[in-house]
Structure 1
Amino acid sequence: MDKLDSRLPALHGTGVALVTPFSAADFSVDYPALRRLLDFVIDGGVEYIVVNGTTAESPTTTAAEKAELLRVAKEHVAGRVPLVFGIGGNDTAAVERLIHSTDLEGVAAILSASPYYNKPSQRGIIAHYQRLADAAPVPVILYNVPGRTASNLSADTTLRLAEHPNIVGIKEASGDLEQCLQIAALKPADFLLISGDDLLTTPMISFGAVGVISVLANAFPRPFSDMTRLALAGDYAAASEKLFELLPLNPLMYEESNPVGVKAALELLGVCSGAVRLPLLAASESLQQRIRKLL
């Protein structure tokens, strides 16, 4: 089966790993702010949106909140861009049940982070993803982020999983360009290599990536999506100029953990509150001042 069949819109360009706006008063999900943010990133030119990824603080939202976030996003986006939904965890059977219980109608794909904390073997990672892909009614995108999961999907593991007809790509956030090159060199033609590191988007596109799932694009959708499109068009010099403009902001997004920095930027831009849920804390005054200066 062709992975890029009619079920899967072309997830090329800039996908945004959407934050979840919270009320600064009681930390409840701020749905009016969510709608503002959705309009902000779509009007800013992003090609698709990832709801309930790790940037969305998914470890601290309830099952009911996750379902409502997806419902509101589907209703408000109304087909303007594709939606990807994050479903992952370190209990394979529980993730499988969650896939079955989630209303995935209108969802282009699932983004699923590699199991965290357990530190499974590569064989265990393969078995985990194969079981999820067998269960999923929509295509699955792998997510390799060793800095958070404490385990890495090797290039060999990714290539083995790429053979599964319902596994259509990988968000690669290992930061290991050699590993990404190995995937690009040997992957099936229809398997999507997606940058999971904002700053590596342009170099990864130069050797075969189709785009990025970005944190920065929450607050800076226009310059970031312009940069990605320039790289996809082969104008790496112009794309690099856009990247250099964003370069000073990037470390501030992660200094006090993601999504603290980008939420502080969104608050300064008037899009949503900078509130995050414990164990995270909102950006310090020092960090806010440095972000404000760059803005």
Structure 2
Amino acid sequence: MQTKEIPTGILGFPVTPMNDDLSIDYVAFQRNIEFLIENGLESIFIACGAGELHAINIEEYEQLIVKAKEVVKGRVPVYTGVGGNITTALQQTKLSAQHQIDGYLILPPYLIDPSQDGIYEYVKTIAESTPLNAIVYQRDNCILTLDTLKKLANIPQLKGFKDGAGNIETNVEFTQALGDRFVWINGMPLAEVTMPTYINIGYATYSSAISNYIPYVSKQYFEALQNGDKEKVKEIYDDIIFPIHHIRKQKKGYAVSLIKAGMEIIGLPVSNNVRPPIAPVEPEHYEALKAIVAKAKEKYGNLKGDGSYVGN
């Protein structure tokens, strides 16, 4: 019987910190996770997109699981990212089950643009490979039709659906047809931008990149959104969300490297090092982010944990 926890609230996606030689800094990784938990994130997803799953080997992957469990100690659910090469994905699910985490997020397959029956078999094979909870991530070359998602809904292990494609018409069809069968997760880049739309069609949770360095902003934003405080939502949009969104769009790969830059700015032991093909943040964009973070600290700051400060 599956008893592992299903993710709710704002979901934390820690990065995989790198040393100057691009080896993994596991101490900084644990500090990242502790920081997210101390600041109220309700689940942790390691080695996913923000964690550079594409760039880590299977030995590093297992070590990330071990280090995550050491610091989490059962306080929140822990999920891993799996996917890409199907053989590697099954190695990743096996390790996730072996280390008794809560579940995994199924990322798109590598390179191939599959048919719907191909996507179904890919997700089914991964989801059924262990008894752990599974969440399918719709984005890039893993775009589902309603018929495919209905078929996948028959798989008991599949508990959640995360959308990173942004087709609202399709998402309305999904949530209306399947209701509470899945946990519906907004996984769009900088999900705070689109969350007002998603929350109105049944998405009650989202993954937050900026929570890695300004989690109090995400918390205040989401509380305002849930409470119908449109003025507060607009204020946070204008002050923080849209300015960061503008920087993020300046260069491909910033969905990862901009997070690391923000963490370095607030004093966490995470450098702006990323493995190719992702590139680090340009100096002018780094300074622009630094100014936004300073404004966030002054106006909204209530940070706990490593590199900590308590604002107004």
Q: Is the 8 A contact 2:65 2:96 kept in 1?
A: no
Instruction: Write the distance in 2 (CA, Å) between the matches of 1:102 and 1:6.
Output: 14
Instruction: Write the distance in 1 (CA, Å) between the matches of 2:37 and 2:245.
Output: 21
Matched positions, count:
285
Q: Is the 8 A contact 2:36 2:211 kept in 1?
A: yes
**What is the aligned counterpart of 1:83 among 78, 84, 100?**
78
Deviation at 1:104, TM superposition (A): 4.5
Deviation at 1:111, TM superposition (A): 0.3
TM-score (norm 1): 0.89
Instruction: Write the distance in 2 (CA, Å) between the matches of 1:94 and 1:273.
Output: 28
TM-score (norm 2): 0.84
Label 1:133 to 1:202 Cα distance change in 2 as closer, same or farther (>3 A): same
Deviation at 1:21, TM superposition (A): 0.7
What is the RMSD computed on CA atoms of the aligned residues? 2.0
3-state SS in 1 of match to 2:11: strand
Name the residue aligned to 1:278: 276
Q: Name stretches of at least 5 consecutive residues in structure 2 with no aligned partner.
A: 294-312
Name the residue aligned to 1:292: 290
The question of 1:179 aligning with 2:174 is answered no
Counterpart code for 1:187 = L
Write out per-residue CA displacement over residues 207-238 of structure 1, whole angstroms, 9 at most, x where no aligned residue: 2112012222222222113323443x442524
Deviation at 1:248, TM superposition (A): 1.3
Label 1:9 to 1:186 Cα distance change in 2 as closer, same or farther (>3 A): same
Counterpart code for 2:10 = T
Identity percentage over the alignment?
25
3-state SS in 2 of match to 1:111: strand
**What is the aligned counterpart of 2:155 among 157, 164, 177?**
164
Counterpart code for 2:59 = A
The question of 1:114 aligning with 2:108 is answered yes
Q: Is the 8 A contact 1:253 1:262 kept in 2?
A: no
Q: Is the 8 A contact 1:254 1:261 kept in 2?
A: no
Counterpart code for 1:235 = G
After superposition, residues 1-295 of structure 1 pair within 5 angstroms as 7-23=3-19, 25-91=20-86, 93-146=87-140, 150-197=141-188, 198=191, 199-231=193-225, 233-235=226-228, 237=230, 238-244=232-238, 245-256=240-251, 257=253, 258-271=255-268, 272-295=270-293
Deviation at 1:52, TM superposition (A): 0.5
Q: Name stretches of at least 5 consecutive residues in structure 1 with no aligned partner.
A: none
Instruction: Write the distance in 2 (CA, Å) between the matches of 1:203 and 1:112.
Output: 24
Counterpart code for 1:163 = N
Query: Which segment drifts farther, 130-139 or 64-73?
Result: 130-139
Query: Which segment drifts farther, 246-255 or 164-173?
Result: 246-255
Higher relative contact order (CA 8 A, sep 6+): 1
